[in-house]
């Protein structure tokens, strides 16, 4: 039976288990000894529902929102038994210890039990100040909210582990933002996203407790996390097994990012989920042209710490921070170090299997590793559109041998004309690939099925998001609605009006090529 949000059946296992600050004081401050602080949403002028995820709502057992529900989603209504709170955590940001951070503009309404008995945390992002807002206003703008709403749902339909988004609400208020931190602040329309996940616990949640030497809280949080989210793990070594599974889930998530060409943009340890979910969508992007050193985050320049090709290494670095946080729970920290080392084996096994899927290979043979490396080398050199290149690879005639025929076949994926050397490079790797593909023991129909399942045809490009946001700011929603449908079917040809390389005007357009962490 479906229910309304306003039926007020939230649960609060987390807040009932751990110490929190119940004062409701929103003054920015350090909160030692607690894992959360009470935070009531700040009311807005005129909440208006812009988007609602019917599929997610059905999974949660939720009715379409009525007026009371919209007021909840906009932060204007807190029902009598609600206990909204902001999570306290710490983290490493751009490689440096940042100390206490916490939910500065996200307020958790509570835990919602779905019809299948699974529980989901529902969190309002942009609902006002919390004790962790520091000097910020706790709000979010329409620009960033549209991006998070659409992208988290897009990643779900792509098959990438992710948090999800239930609703998008315009607030009717204006919010001041300096989009590129260049001294030119401007008013933008405000919005709130209701995002959902089984848990929003991060690596930084555990780092905070270790840094404060709150070992009892650390022990309790680890055990609670295992019992609730990893119930299949037991035994005297369950913490070690749990860490090993976090390592493997993180490797899985990163490989899925690489499969679809996703760049997170700000892989701080406070943005890493202990459930292996993509979390905290900010200055993200999909790859257009294949550039391993591409970062969509202006704050990440010039070092490009979080560039597309660095994400696997950064995930390992972040896992090492998590392992350091767990050291007090072990008499022999070498055990953690040994488990951490398994990341490399997990990653490469999953990466090679992923590449075999993208290329339509029946299995990963020893000699295929060299072929994968050659593809990486050639794609990095000629920088075709990643999504379109792999779609064209699916349709590659196996008798296409010459440089001219091969270049012509991939022409629609190219941003620049190939030099003679580049054409020869492409011909070489494609010829080797054709030989390997013919050696498959499966049928060509099987190959086609595998490749179409592994390679998305539609991705939510930044320039499309930019155009949809501009239209919404003008009161139009045609493109937004179309994108909302397109993200649900990314492997089909239904939305081939978007099947083209990034237009030239978008290469340098603010909000289309790079973004800042500001939102």
- Predicted pLDDT of residue 1: 78
Same domain, 375 and 473: no
Within-domain flag for 302: no
Domain boundary among 148, 170, 200: 200
Same domain, 91 and 178: yes
DSSP codes joined into one string, 461-519:
-HHHHHHHHHHHHTT--HHHHHHHHHTT-TTSSTTGGG-SPPPGGGSSSTTTS-B-S--
Residue 471's domain spans which residues? 462-506
Query: Contact 179/510 with Cβ under 8 angstroms?
Result: yes
Same domain, 378 and 467: no
Within-domain flag for 224: no
Question: Closest Cα partner for 7 from 86, 61, 76, 75?
Answer: 61
- Predicted pLDDT of residue 418: 97
Within-domain flag for 447: no
User: From the CB of residue 109, how many other CB atoms can be counted at a distance below 10 Å?
Assistant: 24
Within-domain flag for 132: yes
User: From the CB of residue 466, how many other CB atoms can be counted at a distance below 10 Å?
Assistant: 20
Same domain, 399 and 470: no
Number of domains in the chain: 3
Question: What's the CA gap between 446 and 4, in Å, rounded?
Answer: 45
Catalytic residue among 270, 280, 288, 300: 270
Same domain, 57 and 121: yes
Within-domain flag for 225: no
Same domain, 67 and 154: yes
Same domain, 481 and 422: no
Same domain, 473 and 397: no
Same domain, 422 and 469: no
Average pLDDT across each block of 10 residues of the chain; the chain has 519 residues. List them in order: 88 97 96 98 97 97 96 95 95 98 97 96 97 95 97 98 98 87 83 98 98 98 98 97 98 98 98 98 97 95 96 98 98 95 98 98 97 98 98 92 95 97 97 95 95 98 97 96 98 97 88 70
Same domain, 406 and 500: no
Same domain, 370 and 501: no
Question: Closest Cα partner for 337 from 352, 351, 348, 324?
Answer: 324
Same domain, 477 and 411: no
Query: Contact 109/84 with Cβ under 8 angstroms?
Result: yes
Within-domain flag for 512: no
Domain boundary among 138, 170, 200: 200
Q: Is 270 known to be catalytic?
A: yes
Within-domain flag for 134: yes
Question: What's the CA gap between 261 and 245, in Å, rounded?
Answer: 24
Within-domain flag for 216: no
Domain boundary among 200, 230, 260: 200
């Amino acid at each position: 039976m479906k229910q309304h949000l306003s039926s007020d059946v939230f649960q609060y296992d987390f807040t009932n288990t751990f110490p929190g600050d119940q004062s409701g004081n929103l003054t920015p401050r350090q909160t030692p000894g607690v894992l959360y602080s009470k935070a009531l949403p700040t009311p807005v002028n005129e909440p208006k529902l812009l988007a609602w995820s019917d599929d997610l709502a059905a999974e949660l057992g939720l009715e379409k929102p009525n007026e009371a529900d919209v007021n909840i989603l906009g932060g204007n209504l807190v029902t009598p038994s609600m206990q909204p709170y902001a999570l306290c955590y710490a983290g490493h940001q751009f490689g440096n210890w940042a100390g206490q951070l916490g939910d500065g503009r996200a307020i958790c309404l509570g835990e919602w039990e779905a019809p299948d008995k699974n529980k989901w945390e529902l969190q309002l992002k942009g609902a006002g100040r919390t004790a962790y807002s520091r000097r910020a206003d706790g709000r979010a703008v329409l620009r960033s909210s549209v991006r998070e709403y659409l992208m988290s749902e897009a990643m779900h339909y792509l098959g990438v582990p992710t948090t999800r988004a239930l609703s998008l609400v315009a607030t009717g208020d204006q919010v001041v933002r300096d989009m590129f931190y260049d001294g030119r602040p401007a008013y933008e329309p405000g919005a709130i996203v209701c995002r959902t996940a089984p848990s929003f616990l991060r690596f930084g949640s555990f780092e905070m407790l270790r840094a404060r030497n709150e070992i009892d809280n650390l022990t309790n949080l680890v055990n609670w996390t295992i019992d609730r989210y990893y119930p299949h793990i037991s035994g005297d070594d369950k913490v070690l097994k749990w860490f090993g599974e976090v390592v493997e889930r993180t490797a899985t998530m990163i490989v899925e990012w690489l499969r679809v060409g996703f760049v997170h943009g700000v892989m701080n340890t406070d943005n890493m989920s202990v459930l292996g979910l993509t979390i905290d969508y900010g200055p993200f992007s999909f790859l257009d042209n294949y550039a391993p050193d591409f970062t969509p985050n202006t704050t990440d320049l010039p070092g490009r710490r979080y560039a597309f090709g660095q994400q696997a290494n950064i995930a390992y670095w972040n896992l090492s921070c998590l392992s350091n946080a767990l050291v007090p729970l072990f008499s022999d920290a070498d055990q953690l170090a040994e488990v951490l080392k398994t990341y490399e084996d997990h990653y490469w096994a999953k990466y090679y299997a992923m590449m075999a899927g993208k290329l339509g290979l029946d299995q990963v043979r020893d000699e295929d590793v060299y072929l994968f490396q050659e593809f990486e080398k050639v794609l990095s050199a000629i920088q075709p559109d990643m999504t379109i290149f792999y779609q064209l690879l699916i349709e590659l005639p196996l008798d296409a041998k010459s440089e001219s025929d091969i270049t012509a076949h991939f022409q629609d994926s190219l941003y620049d004309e190939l030099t003679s050397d580049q054409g020869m490079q492409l011909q070489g790797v494609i010829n080797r690939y054709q030989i390997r593909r013919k050696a498959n023991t499966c049928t060509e129909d099987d190959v086609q099925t595998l490749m179409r399942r592994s390679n998305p045809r539609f991705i939510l490009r930044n320039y499309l998001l930019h155009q949809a946001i501009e239209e919404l700011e003008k009161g139009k929603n045609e493109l937004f609605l179309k994108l909302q449908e397109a993200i649900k079917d990314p492997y089909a040809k239904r939305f081939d009006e978007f099947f083209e390389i990034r237009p030239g005007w978008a290469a340098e357009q603010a909000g289309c090529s790079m973004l800042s962490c500001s939102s």
